Amino acid sequence: MSLHPRSKVLLLIAASALGCGAPAPSPPTRSELRPTEPPPPSSAALAQKPALPTVTNEDFLYLEEVSGEKALGFARAHNAVSEKALSSDAGFHALEERLFSIYSSKERIPSPRMHGDHLRNFWTDSEHPRGVWRQTTLADFKKPKPTWTTLLDIDALGKAEHESFVYHGASCLYPLRRKCLVNLSKGGGDAAIVREFDVDTKAFVPGGFVLPEAKSRMSWKDENTVYVATDFGPGTLTKAGYPRIVKEWRRGTPLASATTLLEAKETDISVGCQRDHDHERIRDFCVRSIDFERSELFWRNGDKLVHVDKPEDADVDTWDDELVLRLRSDWTVGSPGTTYKKGTLLIAGFDAYMRGERSFQVLFEPTARSSLESWTGTKTRLFTNVLSDVRNQVTTFTRRPGDKSTKRWVGAPLKESAASIALDPFDTNRSDDLWLWLNDFTLPPSLALWSPGAGKRDVLKQNPAFYDASNVEARQYFATSKDGTKIPYYEVARKDRSGAVPTLLEAYGGFEISLNASYSATAGAAWIERGGVYVQANLRGGGEYGPAWHEAAMKHLRQNAYDDLAAVAEDLVRRGVTTSKSLGIIGASNGGLLTSVMLTQRPELFGAVVSKVPLTDMQRFHKLLAGASWMSEYGNPEDPGDWAALSKYSPLHNVQRGAAYPPMFFTTSTKDDRVHPAHARKMVAKLEALGHQPLYYENIEGGHGGAADIKQRAYVDSLVYTFLASKLGLGASK
């Protein structure tokens, strides 16, 4: 069970038709999108230079109308210019085909999830770009070519119902997992419809549970009852646009008659409840998510909601008869008081804890170079996954039978050399086996079924090498930031490169999300294989070194993340890896904010900038879609002290006329209902009004991921990498 509000997951509707009755207007050319150039001035005019037109941010508020006719016209006009400029590149179509072949490859590892006696998987390929939900047996999965049974074909469903459906997962009723609540987005945004689905009949249940499109949270209590948090009407959503009220809804009754269980505040993020089947123990929990760090947890004991006494910023899980706490701040508890450090993982008996006892065993305590990335449990064991200088290290814990002391859990490390390790329990209640995922920058992912007790590991699947990494190596370096902090970064490049070469730098630096070492087929095929250097920086604001690393770039300390990225860029030039003219940066979401800030603060460091689904207006972000939920990260623009910090880096407010900006490319999605597309739209519009010439592409569907399916993903990625290659001087695509 995981009850923390943060979704990591560190992350799509058909294009709107033009109105009938008139032909579509021709898109403007690049010259038409530039500010109009006046004729050469006369000698008299030279004596007094005319004042340039005043540009205000209010000029661009119309771009906040997500599907407004004028806003969509802005998007389509710019799309035409960007597509003409980039898709005409000699290597564009070859790259697009290459990336699509990777994304649609049938040799990829199907990610398995055990449901009763079957393994289920969601799969996309060239025949099913929107994907199929399917299942097989474990015995068949172990074969090189498993036989799959399709449960739900999203492409066929969308065609039959004339909708651009995107699959957003399914929650299936324990223990048989035959009745499922399927989430379907219309276009790829976070909002989705929910429908009850019967796996045996492979059809939606007539008269079953159904929710209209909303940012809902819905889960099973039992076969005839669900917990539902959704848009119940006026006043039932938080300012961030998520459900404020959670109810219990019984089958066959109208949603309006559902019983309210818990209400959050309008300023919170959201609320929800779920039933936990853990080692055959049934517990129901409700959580009030205050912000991304803080939450209140309630245990439903009968009809009473019992408050679980914990620090608001602590993450809480349960395992069997134990309660697990991961701290985000130092916690002094007990008598005499014991202080546990932020980032520590604690375990205690659930019943004893609820009685008020505070006797803990420490399963993990952070160091200056290590932090807890995650933990998971199986039938009899617990596992911690720790990042040590951005490399995963796993420890297996077993419990001494009958021991109730604070030394009952004994740990043993997993010996593994891969930089990236991910664990997923095979069947938490029935087995100690785990799915073990291993990969590295140059090592394609592999999937093994690991039996810790038997010391056995069977590698079942291996991704093919999607690019030639035989002569590629990954090395870790540390740059020194402005305040002296050492910032780790990975450099992935050909061993035989000579001199300064085009280099692409990617980073995120926010929300305690870590960028781990991982195999990127996209960067490999589109950049590294062609001779470029790929760099991944681990900035403050992320989770690479735990809560303190995150806090070091929150709110008024946000500038630290930008200084960190600048330090990495400077280090790459100092070491002779690249030059400023051949160094590009790329980032998405908070990473898009990061690259937009670099554009306005340190343009001289870069030869090209890409900002994908970015934030740019830090004065109005809290008023746009889910933005209100991010104030714990960035601050409140309506607070004078917070705005004083935000205004110093808000990209939209720091764009300058006449500045020497490098080539820039902004991308977003009309259907992104998390980061409003107006952030990218307004940034581009203001840049143009001040005389600059950014490129812009807005996918009319796609959600926060920027694409509704693998075809769109290949197309958008090809636009981005073609832009970077052309501006930084990278060789043609193979």
How many Å apart are CA 451 and CA 501, to the nearest integer?
A: 45
Residue 253 placed within a domain = no
List residues with catalytic annotation.
589, 704
Q: Are residues 423 and 500 in the same domain?
A: no
Residue 125 placed within a domain = yes
How many Å apart are CA 371 and CA 487, to the nearest integer?
A: 15
Render 203-221 in DSSP notation, one character per residue.
EEPTT--EEEEES-EEEEE
Q: Are residues 560 and 659 in the same domain?
A: yes
- pLDDT (tens digit, 9 = 90+) per residue, 316-372? 999 999 999 999 999 999 878 999 999 999 999 999 999 999 999 999 999 999 999
Which tokens belong to 428? Answer: 């938490």
Q: What pLDDT does residue 39 have?
A: 42
3-state secondary structure 650-673: CHHHHCCCCCCCCCEEEEEECCCC
Q: Are residues 393 and 526 in the same domain?
A: no
- Structural domain total, the chain: 3
Residue 304 placed within a domain = no
Contact status, residue 167 vs residue 197, Cβ threshold 8 Å: no
pLDDT at 24 over 50: no
Alpha helices in 88-209 (DSSP H): 92-103, 138-141, 154-161
Residue 318 placed within a domain = no
Residue 299 placed within a domain = no
Residue that finishes a domain, picked among 460, 492, 511: 460
pLDDT at 605 over 90: yes
- Per-residue burial over 159-169, b if 16 or more Cβ lie within 10 Å, else e, is eeeebbbbbbe
Q: Are residues 647 and 706 in the same domain?
A: yes
Q: What pLDDT does residue 51 have?
A: 66
Q: Are residues 95 and 143 in the same domain?
A: no
How many Å apart are CA 361 and CA 355, to the nearest integer?
A: 17
Banded pLDDT at 96 (limits 50, 70, 90): very high
Domain that holds residue 401: 376-460
pLDDT at 597 over 70: yes
CA neighbor of 354 nearest in space, from 326, 318, 407, 315: 318
Question: Which CATH number fits the domain that encloses residue 517?
Answer: 3.40.50.1820
Report the 10 Å Cβ neighbour count for 685: 22
Q: What pLDDT does residue 17 have?
A: 28
- pLDDT (tens digit, 9 = 90+) per residue, 247-300? 999 999 999 999 999 999 999 999 999 999 999 899 999 999 999 999 999 999
Residue 481 placed within a domain = yes
Question: Residue 230 to residues 163, 214, 238, 267: CA-CA distances in angstroms?
Answer: 22, 6, 11, 16
Classify residue 160 by its DSSP letter. H
Residue 499 placed within a domain = yes
| Percentage above 70 pLDDT, the chain | 93
Q: Are residues 385 and 529 in the same domain?
A: no
Classify residue 264 by its DSSP letter. -
Q: What pLDDT does residue 47 have?
A: 46
Q: What pLDDT does residue 423 have?
A: 97
Residue 200 placed within a domain = yes
- Which residues are 119's β-sheet partners? 114, 136
List all residues 6 or more positions away from 268 whose beta carbon is below 8 Å from its beta carbon. Answer: 238, 244, 288, 289, 290, 291
Q: Average pLDDT of 681-707? A: 91
Q: Are residues 556 and 580 in the same domain?
A: yes
Mean model confidence pLDDT for the chain: 92
Q: Are residues 76 and 114 in the same domain?
A: no
Q: Are residues 451 and 481 in the same domain?
A: no
Residue that finishes a domain, picked among 406, 431, 460: 460
Q: Are residues 522 and 669 in the same domain?
A: yes
Q: Are residues 407 and 518 in the same domain?
A: no
Q: What pLDDT does residue 50 have?
A: 61
Residue that finishes a domain, picked among 460, 489, 524: 460
Q: Which contiguous run of DSSP H or E holds residue 33? A: helix 30-33
CA neighbor of 92 nearest in space, from 714, 727, 709: 714
Strand order in the sheet with 132-136: 113-115, 118-123, 132-136, 149-153
Q: What pLDDT does residue 518 have?
A: 94
How many Å apart are CA 13 and CA 707, to the nearest integer?
A: 10
Q: Which contiguous run of DSSP H or E holds residue 261? A: strand 259-263
How many Å apart are CA 368 and CA 252, to the nearest integer?
A: 56
Question: Residue 306 to residues 261, 277, 285, 320, 608: CA-CA distances in angstroms?
Answer: 12, 18, 9, 19, 54
Which tokens belong to 236? Answer: 């039932």
117 compared with 216, residue with greater pLDDT: 216
How many Å apart are CA 246 and CA 285, to the nearest integer?
A: 12
- pLDDT (tens digit, 9 = 90+) per residue, 151-171? 999 999 999 999 999 999 999
Which tokens belong to 220? Answer: 């099973």
Which tokens belong to 28? Answer: 């403007």
Q: Are residues 490 and 568 in the same domain?
A: yes
